[in-house]
Structure 1
Amino acid sequence: MEAPKQPIVETEIMRIARESRPWRLLVLRGVARFLDGIFLMVPMGLFVSGVLSMAPQGKQSSFTLWLGLACMLVIMLYHPVCEVRFGGSLAKQLLGLQVLTAEGEYISSMQAAKRWLTTLFGSLGQVGDIVAAVAIITNEYHQRVGDYWANTYVIEKSAREKLHEGALHL
């Protein structure tokens, strides 16, 4: 497998990522993951239980199957769609985080798919979480394996805004 193409010259986004405090970023990303789980599961659970209660007797098993598949689809698409369209999930946005390219743009669908695939494999057990945490703390740009593979960076919006404010006052 070919190594990801990393930019030769460090960009503004890369510098912001490099200068981020790794433990703070790790905690913010962990809290975002937890909150996104709540944002997804609570409404989905209420929806599913409401729909199942309205299902005709004897038809609940087929309803359950289709609802389960629909819920899986929503869960699978939530992060990639949010990252491509808005620069991060709802929780990341609430916590002031952005997922960007080295050039400061929202990520592409392919980059989102790469991030999602590594998240999927990483969430199969605690080992994946440990690998992600170690990568964020030790990587120069505080990237998970998926960020590195997709050439994406998770930064705090406030760091980027401070940089732009400083540039305006020069």
Structure 2
Amino acid sequence: MPLFERPKPQMGTQGDVVPRRIGAFVVNLIIVAVFGGLVTGALSLSPEAGSGVIGLLLLLYFIVFEGTYGKTPGKHLLGLVVVTRRGEPCEYREAAIRSVLRIIDGLPGALYVVGLIAIYLTDDRQRLGDLAADTVVVRAAERGERL
């Protein structure tokens, strides 16, 4: 399944994707950190300014990829897609809500404890951003099946 296509979701699989979600998030952080490091280095930014740039890039990264394709490169590598609970595509509105609430999900610090607790306490394995946006993360359908 190509990265720049929106895959069809396998609804009902949200309960068994938590380890994949964690792996996808780590892959996405690495991608943004490397790109952000290159940008801040090229612009000779201070560490404080660089952190702000990386934070903004992270926010935009999730909004653009999930709003456009329903997945980030990390989710793509691990066969995941974000959709509404009704199985409809995640659009920019939902992607923005999910992304902004990563700030709360990520508390305390970078451990993502709040998000993980929410995932394990909800039936559809939703973090706070998913609950607010009415989205779920599920397995992507096999190759060739697209929304």
TM-score (norm 2): 0.74
What's the counterpart of residue 82 of structure 1?
65
Matches for 1:1-170 after TM superposition, within 5 Å:
15-17=12-14, 20-21=15-16, 25-52=17-44, 70-126=53-109, 129-157=112-140, 160-161=141-142
- The share of aligned pairs that are identical, in percent, is 28
Aligned alpha-carbon RMSD (Å): 2.9
Relative to its length, the structure with more helix (as a share) is: 1
Structure number with larger C-alpha Rg? 1
Displacement of 1:136 in angstroms is: 1.8
- Gapped regions of structure 1 (runs ≥ 5): 1-11, 53-59, 165-170
Displacement of 1:91 in angstroms is: 0.4
Question: 1:98·1:154 contact (CA, 8 Å) conserved in 2?
Answer: yes
Q: Give the distance between the partners of 1:69 and 1:139, measured in 2 at CA.
A: 32
- Gapped regions of structure 2 (runs ≥ 5): 1-8
Question: 1:82·1:88 contact (CA, 8 Å) conserved in 2?
Answer: yes
What's the counterpart of residue 8 of structure 1?
none
Question: 2:105·2:127 contact (CA, 8 Å) conserved in 1?
Answer: no
* 1:96-153 Cα deviation digits (max 9, x unpaired): 0000113333212221122112211222415972232232223211111211221111
TM-score (norm 1): 0.65
* 1:60-109 Cα deviation digits (max 9, x unpaired): 77xx95x7665443222110111010111110111100001133332122
